[in-house]
Amino acid sequence: MRAVLLSLALCLTACAGEKLGQIQNFRQKSSGDDYVELEWNLTQDGDYPLHKYTLTTDSDFSNDVRCFNEYCTYIVDYLPACSDHDFELVPHFDGPSGDVLGDAAATSGATADKPPGAPSNIAVSGIGGSATNLTWNAPATNAACVDTYEICYRLESDTAIQCENSTDTFISLAGLEACGKYEITVAGVTPSGVAGPSESTFITSQDGVPGAPQNVVVGLSTADSVSIKWDDPLTNRLCVDRFAFSYGETHARNFQYVRASDHEAIITPLNGCTNYTIDVFAISRTGFLGPAVRNYAATAETEPLAPPTVIVGAHGPDSIDVIWGSDPNEKCSGSISICWHDHEHSEICEDIPAGGGNNNFTITDLLPCSSYDVIVSVVTPGGIVGLPTANSTHTDDVQPGPVRFLRMKEVTSHELTISYEAPETHPQCVHEYDIEIINEDDYFSRRSQVVPYMDGTFTDLEACADYLVNVRAVTRTGLTSEWRTITTTTGGDTPSVPRAFEVEAVHETSVLVNWWQPDTNKFCARNYRLEWTDGTNSNSTEISPAPGEDLPFEVRFTVTGLTSCTEYTFSVFALSVSSGESAPATITQKTTCAH
């Protein structure tokens, strides 16, 4: 309708023969990411003055433009970036009876680039046999500015970056290695080549079977190991989760694993003197085994394995039986070395050719009652001695001779010290010494002890007592020598107070008293002194045993010549030969009165 009116107006103007100004050079002058600046010229030789312009954008919205110069510019803003637009400009003139429309001018323009926002939701949409498919969402801002998407990727462990382009929101990447963890970056790029911010994520490419390891070589071989080196497979190297070795002899196979980052290993432990077949192959994370590469290696003569068991036992007082086991894995055995020693003499060894036949041997000419360490080693034909296996045993016991030079080193009142020397015959058979200490003055006093040394001190003895000391040697199994004997008497000491001092009977002129011998140092008491007093007169008497006898355990004594109806104090003392007398035991008693 608007176009019809404009045409009618133009027609009316032309038909009336009126002359109007003309728009010239209507075009885009400049642009930004949200505006287009237009420019034009207007001829000024028309019949009517210019009133305004009407500028219509994209046949959608219009603006009134007032510019009365010959040259005009106008900015149309609030436009989306990276977009094309159509513009129509119509001049309005002030005619005699109202608005007169001039000829319309048209042009087109475009807003400038503006970097798009970051794509989102990068995802693996599928994994094919030879490519990985990715999708993503277009940017939320300035999506129209995206002319193409740049997709870059690099291995997580690498710095090298590769890029591809897509004009859509998906791509199929064929350049990814299988089993690789990749950092994927997607960014939108404008037609002018300006890239917006990127979105990144990590993906893992499809799984694959690793190829055969490259350049597998056997290096140094030792007695119990073989070193081996290799390079990564050419095919699907990233799929290698670990490398494995299969190795062994004709019938036995063993496996060993190393990390994918390792490219050399030492295969151990191996048996010496052995040929080995070694297969090296790669294994993927999901357990796929790649093809193996085979090599051959031989170990050198090695230190032989120790015998698994050594059993020893006495074969009498001068010999030992030795039995040893053989390790079925031992390949380098040439002979057996047996060594023995008793900790006091030099080690003696003997070689037994060809493994000793039935793996037994009897060692002779040994000392009885002796502990022997027996060491059995395997020896290679080249003379390498293997680790030993040892065991210990005793030759059978025999009776040792008696101890020598038994003597009393020191004697005090309650202690004695003896010394002696080992037997002259079979001294090595002595395991300990049995010592008896017998108090010959006390039938029930007998002490014994076993000591591992050749002297001893004995305490808590009775003073003034006669002691008998017996010593004999004892073997490990209980065989004993003859006794050797020595006697002594302990020194003196002051006896303690006589015990249980009491009155047994009372008369007018006599009192019967009794008491027991002292509890401590009783053998030192040779006699007693009994004293009594009525406070005015005092008397005493000594009480001694019969010649050749000891004081009895209990003493009863009658004190006579006393005065009737009189109170007396009685005191008894134990007297020693050289250590003084004891403290008194005291009682008080009144004699009976006459009727």
Per-residue pLDDT, 12: 43
Question: 519 pLDDT exceeds 80?
Answer: yes
Q: How confident is the model at residue 1 (pLDDT cuts 50, 70, 90)?
A: very low
Q: Residue range 85-103: average pLDDT?
A: 92
Q: Residue range 266-284: average pLDDT?
A: 79
Per-residue pLDDT, 13: 43
Q: What is the pLDDT of residues 522-544, one digit of tens each?
A: 888 889 999 999 988 999 999 88
Question: 475 pLDDT exceeds 70?
Answer: yes
Question: 2 pLDDT exceeds 70?
Answer: no
Q: Residue range 58-68: average pLDDT?
A: 92
Q: How confident is the model at residue 38 (pLDDT cuts 50, 70, 90)?
A: very high
Per-residue pLDDT, 126: 67
Q: What is the pLDDT of residues 300-327, one digit of tens each?
A: 777 888 888 999 998 889 999 999 888 8
Q: Residue range 504-514: average pLDDT?
A: 93
Question: 451 pLDDT exceeds 90?
Answer: no
Question: 343 pLDDT exceeds 50?
Answer: yes
- Which pTM value belongs to this model? 0.46
* Tokens standing for residue 73: 């510019």
Q: Judge residue 82's burial from the number of C-beta atoms within 10 Å of its C-beta, 0-12 exposed, 13-18 middle, 19 or more buried.
A: buried
Per-residue pLDDT, 8: 41
Q: How confident is the model at residue 11 (pLDDT cuts 50, 70, 90)?
A: very low
Q: How confident is the model at residue 17 (pLDDT cuts 50, 70, 90)?
A: low
Q: How far apart are CA 476 and CA 371, in angstroms?
A: 11
Q: Judge residue 201's burial from the number of C-beta atoms within 10 Å of its C-beta, 0-12 exposed, 13-18 middle, 19 or more buried.
A: middle
Q: How far apart are CA 67 and CA 77, in angstroms?
A: 18
Q: Residue range 28-51: average pLDDT?
A: 90
184 residue type, one letter: I
Is residue 400 within 8 A of residue 430, CB to CB? The reply is: yes
Cα-Cα-Cα-Cα dihedral sign, residues 182, 186, 191, 194? negative
- According to DSSP, residue 585 is labeled E
Question: 53 pLDDT exceeds 90?
Answer: yes
Q: How confident is the model at residue 35 (pLDDT cuts 50, 70, 90)?
A: very high
**Helix, coil or strand: residue 429:** helix
DSSP letter string, 83-121: -EEEEEEEEEEEETTEEEE---EEEEEEPPP------EE
Question: 73 pLDDT exceeds 70?
Answer: yes
Q: Residue range 110-116: average pLDDT?
A: 87
Per-residue pLDDT, 91: 95
What's 259-324 look like in SS3?
ECCCCEEEECCCCCCCEEEEEEEEEECCCCECCCEEEEEECCCCCCCCCCCEEEEECCCCCEEEEE
Among residues of the chain, what percentage have pLDDT more than 90? 39
Per-residue pLDDT, 40: 94
Output the CA–CA distances (angstroms, integers) from residue 59 to 39, 80, 195, 586, in the order listed. Answer: 19, 16, 32, 149
Backbone torsions φ then ψ of 2, nearest 5 degrees = -65, -40
Backbone torsions φ then ψ of 549, nearest 5 degrees = -115, 160
Q: How confident is the model at residue 515 (pLDDT cuts 50, 70, 90)?
A: very high
Is residue 269 within 8 A of residue 222, CB to CB? The reply is: no
Q: What is the pLDDT of residues 175-228, one digit of tens each?
A: 777 887 888 899 989 888 888 898 998 887 777 788 888 888 887 777 778 888
Q: How confident is the model at residue 557 (pLDDT cuts 50, 70, 90)?
A: very high
Query: 101-123: string of b/e by CB count within 10 Å (b at 16+)?
Result: bbbbbebebebbbbbbbbbeebe
Question: Residues 6 or more apart from 452 whose CB is under 8 A from it?
Answer: 431, 432, 433
Q: How confident is the model at residue 357 (pLDDT cuts 50, 70, 90)?
A: low
Per-residue pLDDT, 591: 92
Q: Maximum Cα–Cα distance for the chain, whole Å? A: 198
Q: Residue range 285-310: average pLDDT?
A: 82
**Helix, coil or strand: residue 355:** helix
Q: What is the pLDDT of residues 139-182, one digit of tens each?
A: 988 888 888 999 898 988 788 888 989 999 898 888 777 887 88
**Which is more confidently placed, 26 or 291?**
26
Output the CA–CA distances (angstroms, integers) from residue 438 to 445, 449, 506, in the order listed. Answer: 6, 12, 43
* C-alpha of 415 from chain center: 57
Q: What is the pLDDT of residues 223-256, one digit of tens each?
A: 778 888 888 888 778 788 888 877 776 545 677 7
The count of C-alpha atoms lying within 13 angstroms of the C-alpha of 277, restricted to the half-sphere facing its C-beta, is: 8
- In angstroms, what is the C-alpha Rg of the chain? 63
Q: How far apart are CA 173 and CA 149, in angstroms?
A: 13
Per-residue pLDDT, 58: 92
Q: Is the preceding omega at residue 233 within 30 degrees of 0, hence cis? A: no
With the CA atoms of 95, 100, 102 and 104 taken in that order, what torsion angle do they form, in degrees rounded to the nearest 10?
A: 160
Among residues of the chain, what percentage have pLDDT more than 70? 94
Q: Residue range 79-100: average pLDDT?
A: 91
Average of per-residue pLDDT values in the chain: 86
